[in-house]
Structure 1
Amino acid sequence: MVEWLDWQEVRTVAEYGPGTGVFTREILSRLSPGGTFVAFEANEEIAAFWRGQFPDQNLYCGSAAKVGEELSRLGHSQLDAVISGLPWAAFPESLQREILDATLAVLRPGGYFATFAYLQGLLLPAGIRFRRLLKEYFAEVEVSPVTWLNLPPAIVYRCRSRAAAEQSAGS
């Protein structure tokens, strides 16, 4: 999920749905000293567990749709990368769009967005719709090979936001 990012250019990272912190550990091990990390977890019990694992890290207990407000509170206006563990195939389209809109509002031009999907979720209407939305929202969308050793098997969506020149031309 995180190895494909160019960590030399990543200084500000958000993680959506950090759960028990598997990806958090990988992110923090790669983030440069002085970098900013913030996690977004809507489930209060999971957030409490996560805080116990990472007491010195920023955690917002609430929707990732609030990424702009929380980033501003931390003194930043843009993210270089977002790593998401959210269950996109379980969300209605309105919530998928709300979070993607909020993400693109703060993701720098050429910024990174990575999320995974379990194979069975790809066949659900919300999973099919989410893949279509990624292509609508991002300039680049790559799909990893299936990770069969993961249970359940999963793929990773690796996305890049539009570069500044593309955004200007599209306006």
Structure 2
Amino acid sequence: MSLSDTLAFLRAWLRDPRSIGAVAPSGPALTRLMTAHIGQLDGPVIELGPGTGVFTRALLEGGLPIDRLALIEADPHFADALARRYPQARVLSMDAAQLGQTHPLFGEERACAIISGLPLLSMPTEKVIAILQGAFDQQLHADGVFYQFTYGPRCPLSDSTLQQLDLVAVRVGSALLNLPPASVYRFSRRPQARFVA
């Protein structure tokens, strides 16, 4: 992580702490945990809230072709920097809650995974539901998965939200060496919901 990326992250946090959710970019342990399973999947990937691109770099280093990656970033400063750094990637400066109103980012081929760096715990429940519903209804294929990290002690989605969205959550693991320590969850459709998606 370069000093300029760290400073950019800190400036973004100072502008709007609730939209960033941390005072430093994700560390190597969390980055590995968030991106470890992507290479085993077949299809394009969407990253929500890439910020300075910590997970982006790991995805590309793991072999994901850059033209199979879409970056959704609400902060215009981060979005501009990502577009300059990764001109072959699809960089959209937009709120992730708009995913349901956006055409599928990869056309007929839906994404196999979404990697989220969004601070779901600091967002209103309605916005969280809009993000997840848009992701699963409009952007992911039937077996698509959604990876989310959290600094909280429990799953960032409540049982009622999971039930409402017909999703199941699996805790992938913890990155205790991250600052602060974090856990990663994988969300997917309930088996019976896959047949109607």
> What TM-score range do you get, normalising by the shorter chain?
0.7 to 0.9
Deviation at 1:69, TM superposition (A): 5.4
Inter-partner Cα distance in structure 1 for 2:158 and 2:96: 19
Inter-partner Cα distance in structure 2 for 1:170 and 1:87: 29
Inter-partner Cα distance in structure 1 for 2:194 and 2:88: 39
Instruction: List gaps (5 residues or longer) in structure 1.
Output: none
2:112 is aligned, of 80, 103, 113, to 80
Runs of 4 or more, structure 1, over 6 Å off, are: 168-171
Q: 1:107, 1:161 within 8 Å by CA — same for their partners in 2?
A: no
Inter-partner Cα distance in structure 2 for 1:111 and 1:36: 15
Of 104-113 and 25-34, the range deviating more from structure 2 = 25-34
1:110 is aligned, of 131, 134, 143, to 143
Please give the root-mean-square deviation of Cα atoms over the aligned residues, in Å.
Answer: 2.8
Compared with structure 1, are the counterparts of its residues 50 and 169 closer, same or farther at alpha carbon in structure 2 (3 Å cutoff)? closer
In the other structure, the counterpart of 1:152 is: 180
Letter in 2 for 1:118: Y
2:174 aligned with 1:141 = no
Which whole-Å deviations, capped at 9, do the CAs of 1:142-165 have from their partners, x for residues lacking one? Answer: 1133311100110001122345xx
In the other structure, the counterpart of 2:45 is: 13
Inter-partner Cα distance in structure 2 for 1:142 and 1:92: 22
2:67 aligned with 1:23 = no
Q: Percent identity?
A: 30
TM-score computed with the length of structure 1 as normaliser: 0.79
Deviation at 1:64, TM superposition (A): 1.5
Deviation at 1:135, TM superposition (A): 5.7
Q: 2:101, 2:134 within 8 Å by CA — same for their partners in 1?
A: no
Which whole-Å deviations, capped at 9, do the CAs of 1:81-129 have from their partners, x for residues lacking one? Answer: 100000101110110011111011131112111010113xx47xxx76x
Which whole-Å deviations, capped at 9, do the CAs of 1:55-79 have from their partners, x for residues lacking one? Answer: 2211110112333555546534522
Q: 2:60, 2:66 within 8 Å by CA — same for their partners in 1?
A: no
Compared with structure 1, are the counterparts of its residues 48 and 98 closer, same or farther at alpha carbon in structure 2 (3 Å cutoff)? same
2:124 is aligned, of 92, 105, 110, to 92
Inter-partner Cα distance in structure 2 for 1:153 and 1:33: 30
Q: 1:71, 1:78 within 8 Å by CA — same for their partners in 2?
A: no
Instruction: List gaps (5 residues or longer) in structure 2.
Output: 1-33
In the other structure, the counterpart of 1:4 is: 37
